[in-house]
């Protein structure tokens, strides 16, 4: 039932080789021959066997996207844009969740290798550099997104998070919040450290004291911010503004605030990060830091494909995308 090159060869009278070359649009094939073969292939509903061609050629036209949690809208949006770009280039994508867990990330990398992917786009957990070691050993092209390792050279695409942290904090200050809770991600994440740096710089620039107890570094897995915020609300509420690591973190915090009857922005001003709302008509007006998810995703695919084809202009692509403040009603 499944059509192979052999079947097309039999039907057209050409050899398997010729059929293969014709279908690959190689140029040492007579035009007529190519047309005949293409037509017959079409008629017979030929679908190439990617396993066989991958095994033989070493290329599978497949990439893996390894991320925290595709149910998180930020990652879902990134995945969507990555898939669009990949598909345009005739590539398919595996999605593998790490759950912000180092071990699962390494497992995901192994799976990707097992599947013979040509490249990997990774939002690294950063609890260790073992993933990079794995990747480098396998000599498989990869691009990091959103997070990067200061001590290692890799391809990476990040956003200007120091600036993002600054802008967010500055805006909170400008709205009259002096006591700003930073609901940050864990400090092993480079982007968390950088946003925190921006936060500190903004406080300093406006002459506001930095209070360590207002900086919370926590795991940013689903539901964790919510639980944490419930506790914080019970214990103390010595702040009037929140700068959240991401929009999703902001949502969870606001959810908890709402349950406690605390109004945003009247009683609490909140700024998020990522501008998920640029891709989701979500009916809660969250002030946030915009990053161009589409451009980053597109660029990641572009770079990975260059690396795969050996057409890279640089040894390492290290690019930073701008961050801008989007003001909505939450602050």
For residue 166, the 8-state DSSP code is: H
Between residue 230 and residue 269, which ones bind DNA under the rule CB under 7 A?
A: none
Which helix (H) or strand (E) covers residue 112, if one does? helix 102-114
Number of residues forming the site for DNA (CB under 7 A): 27
From the list a copy of itself, DNA, none, pick the one residue 13 interacts with, judged by a Cβ distance below 5 to 8 Å according to partner type.
Answer: DNA
* Given 280, 295, 314, 322, the residue binding a copy of itself (CB under 8 A): 280
In terms of DSSP bridges, do strands 92-97 and 62-67 run parallel, antiparallel, or are they unpaired? parallel
The H or E element that residue 325 is part of is: strand 324-326
- Among 16, 38, 76, 326, which residue sits at the site for a copy of itself (rule: CB under 8 A)? 76
Positions 24 through 53 that interact with DNA (CB under 7 A): 24, 28-33, 48-49, 52-53
Binding partner at 38 among a copy of itself, DNA, none, C-beta below 5 to 8 Å by kind? none
Q: Which stretch binds a copy of itself (CB under 8 A): 158-166, 212-220, 246-254, 298-306?
A: 246-254
Report helix, strand or coil for 147.
Answer: coil
Q: Are 181 and 214 in contact (CB under 8 A)?
A: yes
Non-local (6+) Cβ contacts of 4 within 8 A are 49
Binding to DNA by residue 129, rule CB under 7 A?
no
Quote the CA–CA distance of 29 and 18 in Å, as a whole number.
Answer: 8
Minimum Å distance from CB 132 to DNA?
23
Work out the burial of residue 2: count CB atoms within 10 Å of its CB; fewer than 13 is exposed, 13-18 middle, 19 or more buried: exposed
Torsion of CA 160, 163, 169, 171, to 10 degrees: -110
Interacting residues with DNA (CB under 7 A): 2, 4-6, 13-18, 20-21, 23-24, 28-33, 48-49, 52-53, 55-57
Question: Interface with a copy of itself by CB under 8 A: which residues?
Answer: 1-2, 45, 47-52, 54-55, 60, 62, 69-73, 76-77, 79-81, 83-84, 87, 92-97, 110-111, 113-116, 137-139, 222-223, 225-226, 248, 251-252, 254-258, 264, 279-285
């Amino acid at each position: 039932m499944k059509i192979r090159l052999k079947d097309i060869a039999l039907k057209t009278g050409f050899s398997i080789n010729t059929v293969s070359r014709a279908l690959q649009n190689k140029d040492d094939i007579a035009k007529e021959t190519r047309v005949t073969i293409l037509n017959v292939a079409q008629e017979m509903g030929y679908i190439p066997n990617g396993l066989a061609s991958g095994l033989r050629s070493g290329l599978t036209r497949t990439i893996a996207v390894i991320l925290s949690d595709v149910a998180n809208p930020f990652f879902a949006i990134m995945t969507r844009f990555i898939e669009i770009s990949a598909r345009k280039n005739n590539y398919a994508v595996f999605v593998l969740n790490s759950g912000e867990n180092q071990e699962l990330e390494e497992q995901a990398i192994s799976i990707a290798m097992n599947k013979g992917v040509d490249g990997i786009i990774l939002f690294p957990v950063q609890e260790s550099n073992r993933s990079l070691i794995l990747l480098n050993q396998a000599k498989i092209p990869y691009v990091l997104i959103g997070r990067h390792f200061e001590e290692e050279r890799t391809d990476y695409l990040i956003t200007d998070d120091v600036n993002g942290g600054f802008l967010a904090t500055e805006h909170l200050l400008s709205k009259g919040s002096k006591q700003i809770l930073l609901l940050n991600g864990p400090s092993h994440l480079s982007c968390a450290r950088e946003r925190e740096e921006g936060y500190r710089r903004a406080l300093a620039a406006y002459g506001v004291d930095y209070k360590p107890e207002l900086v919370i570094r926590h795991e940013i897995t689903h539901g964790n911010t919510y639980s944490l915020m419930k506790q914080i609300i019970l214990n103390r509420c010595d702040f009037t503004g929140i700068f959240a690591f991401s929009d999703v973190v902001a949502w969870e915090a606001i959810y908890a605030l709402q349950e406690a009857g605390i109004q945003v922005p009247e009683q609490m001003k909140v700024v998020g990060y990522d501008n998920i709302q640029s891709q989701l008509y979500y009916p809660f007006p969250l002030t946030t830091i915009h990053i161009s998810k589409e451009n980053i995703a597109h660029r990641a695919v572009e770079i990975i494909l260059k690396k795969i084809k050996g057409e890279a202009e640089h040894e390492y692509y290290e690019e930073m995308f701008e961050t801008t403040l989007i003001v909505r009603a939450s602050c």
